[in-house]
Structure 1
């Protein structure tokens, strides 16, 4: 199985550069199981597409303003993208510079304060921040939102709200769980009124989610690591949903990755820790019956994940259809409702 097996042609103008005026105004492409025709719907149709007793699971991670700029002692410009916050005002981060800074060197930040380079591990540097507040709090005012690289504009004031889900609670992500961006309070209220239950996991999306696969063979790829928490309460919610015949529906691929990482001997178990799970065709996703997800990049690991869920040929046909119908792609784009190829 090769990376190129997951290629599709995408006209650049279909890459959404900004959110729609309303979160729940996005289109929704429904991909039923089997060979049933695709359906053009809207996110606001979700209450009629789901059933009383279904369980929607969201990722409640909160995006950090993780991008910073500064200067090395030599005067060279530096861009810092924090990957993960660590104790004692330290962080794991990517550094963009004409020449990689050495351990022990310091970077003067545009926002004030300094960064000390402690060391390097693969693509990430260990940094210590010398700033006038705890790092997480300091970043709220000093950092910039890390919009994905395919959004070809600078972040604006609206992004600070719209590149964050309305249910974001636990700070730690450097990219939004984008399927959740479609849900506003009015839609959530309507789903609740229809007897749909909500559950939450936390998976702090890392900068690695934007890294292209650098090997052609799928079997040689090593996934980046991300931290997650699947709590005991969520495990009980899933169990009760299954017992009453309801469906478990993930809002986003990050939820699927979290749940599958917490599967033990065919059953969901509480789990908190790191995951490097890589899901591609041949892997059987057992934790969910359906998922709401955005459209993903060609040849990406996320496209491989949804291919495992509905079948490679089926998902590529759906993407070809979406291109023809002028759906909007990627983080600020439209969504899909996918049903497992194993569904009855």
Structure 2
């Protein structure tokens, strides 16, 4: 089954900044029992949860991974730091890749914090290994998704706007955006109603923006405390595609919620049997991406053969009602 679920996303529907306060973003509720759609605010999510429910969230933190630099010859280049290897070198994506040569020094960072890096190795498909100073992340900026960066420059607010309330484990190059809607006020309200939270970590890579058939490996950590909490939950509300992929990987390996560290390349397609989720909370995704395929696959667990049709009808309704799409946009709650 291909991941190519296609729809027309008008550019004006792409959110370029978040709603403030975050819990005032909109929430499209899809009930799979009767296929009814409801227009709500994210702050209303508690009306669909009950005491004993647990929301699983990704607590990864976005690092300042975007480096803008200039070669000694004067040409401008850009890197996206991906992972610090055991050797101390950073794996990165660079562009324009054809103009970045192995063995060259490049000065990166803003005028008030310049740092010099060395291109140690040029790999395939625009990937590089870089030798950098220890404080290189101080020279970087938050890597917003390409569909935002093409429309406006990164600003100081993005450093906090593009982090979730739960962000603790640094290492992602993209935010787990379904969690961006939670505020301290809303979390406290939900906890008072008997709803709790179970954090896990999946370090999000750049593949989240790419129309790829096979996601790149991503590291995850799932604690014993969270495993026990989800095992005892009345219902598990999975917050976001990164959490869904992590928990489905854990279930595939253990047939249960169990403490685990590892990496996942799981590409969830229609036909996948979900084990970890009772409720699914997610944002609105780009056309032709694995994320859209994952959402359709979840719907098909309850409505066999209808995942794409139901999803596209919901998206069409969201566009008609001027919902805001993608990372800084609104959310969708899918109920069985």
Q: What is the TM-score with the length of structure 2 in the denominator?
A: 0.92
1:336 aligns with 2:332: yes
Match of 2:248 in 1: 260
Match of 2:237 in 1: 249
Structure 1 position 88, deviation (Å): 5.5
The Cα offsets for residues 239-277 of structure 1, whole Å up to 9 and x where unpaired, read as: 111xxxx11011111100111111125322222121111
Structure 1 position 2, deviation (Å): 3.4
Q: What is the TM-score with the length of structure 1 in the denominator?
A: 0.89
1:116 aligns with 2:80: no
Instruction: Report matched runs for 1:9-48 at 5 Å.
Output: 9-48=8-47
Aligned length: 322
1:2 aligns with 2:13: no
Match of 1:76 in 2: 75
1:312 aligns with 2:308: yes
* Selected match of 1:239 from 223, 227, 231: 231
The Cα offsets for residues 21-67 of structure 1, whole Å up to 9 and x where unpaired, read as: 21111000001123331111111101111010000011000000111
Stretches of structure 1 that go unaligned for 5 or more consecutive residues are 214-220
2: CA distance between counterparts of 1:256 and 1:80?
Answer: 29
Match of 2:303 in 1: none
Instruction: Report matched runs for 1:204-243 at 5 Å.
Output: 204-213=203-212, 221-241=213-233
Residues 14 and 326, structure 1, Cα contact 8 Å, conserved in 2: yes
Structure 1 position 97, deviation (Å): 2.0
CA RMSD, aligned part only? 1.6
2: CA distance between counterparts of 1:103 and 1:273?
Answer: 31
Secondary structure at the aligned position of 2:232 is classed as helix
* Selected match of 1:128 from 131, 139, 142: 131
Match of 2:94 in 1: 95
Match of 1:278 in 2: 267
Stretches of structure 2 that go unaligned for 5 or more consecutive residues are 300-306
Structure 1 position 146, deviation (Å): 0.6
Residues 281 and 312, structure 1, Cα contact 8 Å, conserved in 2: no
2: CA distance between counterparts of 1:126 and 1:239?
Answer: 41
Structure 1 position 96, deviation (Å): 0.8
